[in-house]
Homo-oligomer: A and B are copies of this chain.
Amino acid sequence: MTPPTDPARRAPLSRERVLRAAVALADGTGIEALSMRRLAQDLGVVPMALYKHVANKEELLDGMVDVVVGGIGSPDLDPGWRAAVRGRILAAREALRSHPWALQVIRSRNGPTPALLAHMDAVIGSFRNGGFSVDLTHHVMHALGSRLLGFTQEVFDAPAAAPHPRPPEPDAALGQLAERYPYVAELAGASAHDDGSVVGRGCDDQLEFEFALDLLLDGFERLRHEGWTSAPAGGQAC
């Protein structure tokens, strides 16, 4: 496979080299193929050697998240809260785009990594500097949810990354689908872009994402302008 370099001479293992190799492995063969044993094999070392640089697999995943999230660029100037938030979220989308496993791994973590905290801090700061109250900022951050990281959370994951792709439906099954789920069939028929899944990949594309993002940003601006507060009666609601 690799050119015949002397394995004993290869670059010494380091945390960074381990993390970069793990990201490459997940990119190339999917997150479910990422095992400590397989990663060690890719690096040409014995599995136990990895445990010098990461405490366990959890810490490895944390490190991978920070490698990817750390790559989110920050827009330089502050062009108003809306453009700042929009730009940062679309930058996150760009950074995560080539790492389909990243969102799923982030979700499985128990807490934020430093790079994630930095990203959230920047977005929160844009809201606050744009005149959002702490209360409203709190709510809009929740409303954004995983869209903070540039991804619409669809009901199903991207079938592209699926290890066991569904076989294409036979025509009879499609007919049955139309009969039993007429509205689903109508929608699937109208959007000629995908294979029949209504809320699947294929359509989590830029336009679709920006539609939902702008809808939310419009709503945020309206609430900000109205001086919205969560507890008209006085008490903190959440």
Contact = CB atoms under 8 A, between A and B. Distances in A.
A128 B183 CA distance: 8
A128 to B, nearest CB: 6
Contacts of A146: 153-155
A8 interface: no
Interface stretch (A18-26, A35-43, A77-85, A195-203): A195-203
Contact of A121 (B104, B183, B237): B183
A152 B122 CA distance: 22
A207 B238 contact: yes
Give the copy number: 2
A220 B216 CA distance: 10
Contacts of A116: 155
A155 to B, nearest CB: 6
Interface residues of A, number: 74
Contacts of A104: 107
Contacts of A112: 155-156, 197-198
A141 interface: yes
* Interface of chain A, main secondary structure: helix
Contacts of A220: 215
Interface in A33-85: 58
A182 B134 CA distance: 12
A198 B212 CA distance: 22
Interface string A154-190: 1111010010111000000000010011111011001
A32 to B, nearest CB: 10
Q: Which of A198, A200, A204 has the most CB of B within 10 A?
A: A198
Given A110-B165, A181-B118, A199-B120, A134 B187 contact: yes
Nearest to A154: B145
6 contacts: A124-B187, A139-B212, A141-B198, A142-B152, A215-B216, A218-B219
